[in-house]
Amino acid sequence: MTRLTIAAAQFAPVDDPSVNLETVRAAAEDAAARGAQLLVTPEYTSYFAAEIDDRFVAAAQPLDGPFVTGLRRIARSTGVALVVGVAEAGSDASRFRNTLVAIDPDGALVCTYRKVHLYDAFGSRESDRIEPGDPEQLPVFELGGVWVGLETCYDLRFPEVTRRLAAGPASAGAARGGGAAADVVVVPAEWVRGPGKEHHWRTLLTARAIENTVWVLGVGQAPPIGIGGSVALDPSGVAVAALGAAPGLLVTTVDTDVTAEVRRVNPSLSLRRYDVTVRSDGAGAGAGDVTPR
């Protein structure tokens, strides 16, 4: 049996990285007091405004910049590992990267994930300002004997993303990074409000848990732009902890014995007949194909 206690901080980041850093610090201290070993925060924790425009590009920082350096100090001072969404400086002056950073309790940057599926939907155009991540990424890191996989917001609408994380590197071909299959997939998001969006969010998170028999933790921004709705789901898709729309801290414990029992009863992950491969034509900003096993 391996257990990992994870906290999800649901809040609405602002357009001041120093204020957001203090929000993360307070959440990490609260998480530590409640026995959490890992704190996950929403997409765009370092900087957020209602429109993704040149302000995001100007606010983006390198991974050795003051915001991530501050996160590393918070991890060391609280003893809590962090997964945080940041605006990372891009490779050109006109765009930035939508990045998750994973920092261990000693303050080491142990994993990064740059969002592959950009939110060019529902009237938004993330690709106008954001560089897509490499679709070969397989961002999985180990903490306390539990393997944690990373994806971001709109990625959730593409089932192959979670499938690659849950199935592990053996089924992901030549994917770079990631040492094992994920026991839990964390999904920091800024799930924008709109008709039916709460239903989409909860349904997709639940489907990813059920179809992969894996723990899933969705961490959303609170209103006014996001819907909140952070939730922890066990490998059978049962919500074991959840928040509404208001800011708050959710705490849950991932238990790999629960995963083993669900997979004993329903071995669908091992019975699958297809693997996911990355499309070589570059279409769809990292869309995946399926190939027979």
Token output for 219:
């961490």
| Alpha-carbon gap, residue 231 to 216, rounded angstroms | 8
Q: Provide the token pair at 112.
A: 């990064």
Rounded Cα–Cα distance for residues 229 and 198 (Å): 7
Does the active-site annotation cover 111?
no
Single out the residue of 132, 181, 156 nearest to residue 279, CA to CA: 132
Cα–Cα distance for residue pair 18/81, rounded to 1 Å: 20
| Catalytic member of 126, 131, 151, 153 | 153
Q: Is 43 a catalytic site residue? A: yes
- 3 state SS of 30: helix
Which residues have C-beta within 8 Å of that of residue 72, sequence separation ≥ 6? 103, 107, 108, 109
First to last CA, the chain: 30
Per annotation, catalytic residue among 43, 88, 131, 190 = 43
Point out the catalytic residue in the list 115, 126, 131, 151: 115
- In a 13 Å sphere around the CA of 218, the CA atoms on its Cβ side amount to 37
Q: Residue 96: phi, psi to the nearest 5? A: -130, 180
The verdict on whether 136 is a catalytic residue reads no
Query: Residue 274 to residues 93, 122, 154, 177: CA-CA distances in angstroms?
Result: 40, 30, 23, 21
Residues 6 or more apart whose CB falls under 8 angstroms from that of 12 comprise 48, 221, 222, 223, 224, 225, 226, 247
Catalytic residues: 43, 115, 153
